[in-house]
Amino acid sequence: MTTGTARISGLYDEVKAHLEGGIIPFWTRAKDEAYGGFLTNFDDLGDDTGTPEKYVNTQCRLTWWFSRLHRAYPELPGTAELARWGVDFLLGAFWDAEHGGFTWKTNRDGSPLDPAKIVYGESFCIYALAEYTRATGDPRGLEYAAKTFDLLQQHCADTRYGGYYENVLDDWRPEEPGFAGGDRKGLDTHMHLMESFTTLYAASGLDMHRRKLLQLIDLIATRMIDPTSGCGLNQFDLAFTPIPAIAIKRTWNAERMGETPATPTETTSYGHNVELMWLMRHALETAGADMTPYQPAMRCLLDHAVTHGVDWEHGGIYRDGLRTGGPLVLEKEFWQHSETLVGFLSGYDLFNEPRYLDAFETIWRFVRQYMVIDGVGEWRTLLARDGSPLDANIGNPWKVSYHTGRAMIECKERLEGLLGGTK
């Protein structure tokens, strides 16, 4: 066994042990026996802190998790039933029988709270429901995923400039401009649409789903990545002119910045950039498309994050940075670490670049030392640069198993692939 193989084998063993001994057993407690769907809020001891509201994206993420887990570990009992439990709640509480599509938020019992249609949320409905059918064969998932896809083409596709309007009301009319987001498009939403169309095509095999997926890939690569710096841009006007990012009412940093941030800044997200790389690769592979034209953009996304985003001194990866310059927000957040683990490993596999494996290991060591709560099984939400906790809770309306659990499944499978499937 060579030194390189021994290194990858050791990383594989650590990732597999954390996935199977930590994350997988932790999230079985999320089932809401009283009202259906899932609980999302847990403290650093793993105790339920109350889930007064249920967001469609988080309910979808847990539905997706149990579906994906069933595909990865078909022998594991209960996963298909938990996925079905999630689908039943989504269709019963969130589906809008009058206008179609899924509403944004309910009370814990499923009663309506916010009926808006947020394309970010619709994307996760497509993602979860398509994955559910792939995992279980239940046709309801693909039926409603395809219906939602069709509604987005009908109401939200921008036939003038391309892409999709992102924030609409319950009847699909556009939201107001500014804080409500009616006049903006973002990389985040379009990236997750690409992610969802990938899984939809994998489930359906329909040419329409493939064509729309390829359109999105090309749009993101040509309009939403800065060709000079090589990083993703956060927000755009409707014509895809880059503009400084502001908080958006339901989805983009509103809990941090409020309605009117003092100084909108031309920033980039290291987590989104590396996540975009691996999701784009996965999308192209799923579509059976030529990856060659997109490889320069993929490599630029990785190189920008390696140069500016990875904290080579303390470990981990910074939250945000300047488009042309170094890091701006030095905090360490769970989801960026999750996605960059997958992305750097995917980049190492694709480009055989040793820096990417070094970045993976640097981030993983930080996660294991500071984020993972041993004995509980999940990750803290937010840390300071040195690893001290800023938000030690391990579940909230935006944090469940989607990032952390997916990262561990994807990393386990990629590391196994690098070892030639010998594990």
Together in a domain, 77 and 144: yes
Instruction: Provide φ and ψ at 161, rounded to 5°.
Output: -105, -10
The reply to whether 236 and 347 lie within a common domain is no
Question: What mean pLDDT do residues 177-184 have?
Answer: 94
322 within a domain of the structure (yes/no): yes
Closest by CA position to 23, among listed 3, 2, 5, 42: 42
Flag whether 37 is in a domain: no
- On whether both 149 and 277 belong to a single domain, the answer is no
What does the pLDDT look like over 32-53, one tens digit per residue? 999 999 999 999 999 999 999 9
How many H-runs (helices) and E-runs (strands) does the chain carry?
14, 14
Does some domain include residue 36? no
295 shares its domain with 422 = yes
Residue 247: per-residue pLDDT: 87
What's the whole-number mean pLDDT along residues 276-295? Answer: 98
pLDDT in tens, 56-86: 999 999 999 999 999 999 999 999 999 999 9
pLDDT above 60: residue 340: yes
Tell me if 185 is assigned to some domain: yes
Q: What is the pLDDT of residue 258?
A: 61
Query: How far apart, in whole angstroms, are the C-alpha atoms of residue 391 and residue 370?
Result: 12
E strands, 96-218, where? 105-107, 112-114, 117-118, 167-168, 185-186
pLDDT at 299 over 70: yes
Same domain, 278 and 354: yes
Asked if residue 251 and residue 157 are part of one domain, the reply reads yes
For residues 92, 96, 101, 104, the Cα torsion angle rounded to the nearest 10 degrees is -80
Task: Specify whether 233 is located in the same domain as 182.
Answer: yes
- pLDDT tops 90 at residue 330: yes
Burial 137-153, CB ≥16 within 10 A → b, else e: ebebbbebbbbbbebbe
Confidence band, pLDDT 50/70/90 cuts, at residue 325: confident
Per-residue pLDDT at 1 exceeds 70: no
pLDDT of residue 292 exceeding 60, the answer is yes
Where is pLDDT greater, at 358 or 253? 358
Same domain (yes/no): 66, 143: yes
418 and 275 belong to one structural domain:
yes
pLDDT at 262 over 60: no
pLDDT digits (tens, 9 = 90+) for 370-404: 999 999 999 999 999 999 999 999 999 999 999 99
Output the six-digit token pair for 280.
Answer: 């784009």
> Once rounded to an integer, what is the mean pLDDT over residues 120-132?
98
Q: Give pLDDT, residue 263.
A: 57
Q: Are residues 214 and 80 in the same domain?
A: yes
The pLDDT > 90 percentage for the chain reads: 92
Q: How confident is the model at residue 421 (pLDDT cuts 50, 70, 90)?
A: confident
Provide φ and ψ at 317, rounded to 5°: -135, 140
Does residue 267 register a pLDDT over 90? no
- Are residue 158 and residue 182 in the same domain, yes or no? yes
Q: Which residue shows structure tokens 């941090």?
A: 256
Give, as one character, the DSSP assignment of residue 235.
E
- Asked whether the predicted pLDDT for residue 260 surpasses 60, the reply is no
- At residue 3, does pLDDT exceed 60? no
Tokens of 416: 């196994």
Helix (H, G, I), strand (E, B) or coil at 103: coil
Q: For residues 285 and 49, give the distance between their C-alpha atoms in angstroms, rounded to a whole number.
A: 41
Q: Domain limits at 97?
A: 47-219+229-255
Q: Quick one: pLDDT band at residue 266, thresholds 50, 70, 90?
A: confident
Residues 6+ apart with CB under 8 A from 349: 414, 417, 418
For residues 273 and 199, membership in a common domain is answered with no
As to burial, measured by CB atoms within 10 angstroms (0-12 exposed, 13-18 middle, 19+ buried), residue 35 is middle
Give the CATH number, domain containing residue 207. Answer: 1.50.10.10
**Model's pTM, two decimal places?**
0.97
Order the strands of the 242-243 sheet from edge to edge. Answer: 185-186, 235-236, 242-243
- Does residue 328 fall inside a structural domain? yes
Mean of all residue pLDDT scores within the chain:
95
Report how far residue 194's alpha carbon sits from residue 200's, in angstroms, rounded to the nearest whole number. 10
CA angle 376, 382, 388 (to 5 degrees): 85
Number of domains in the chain: 2
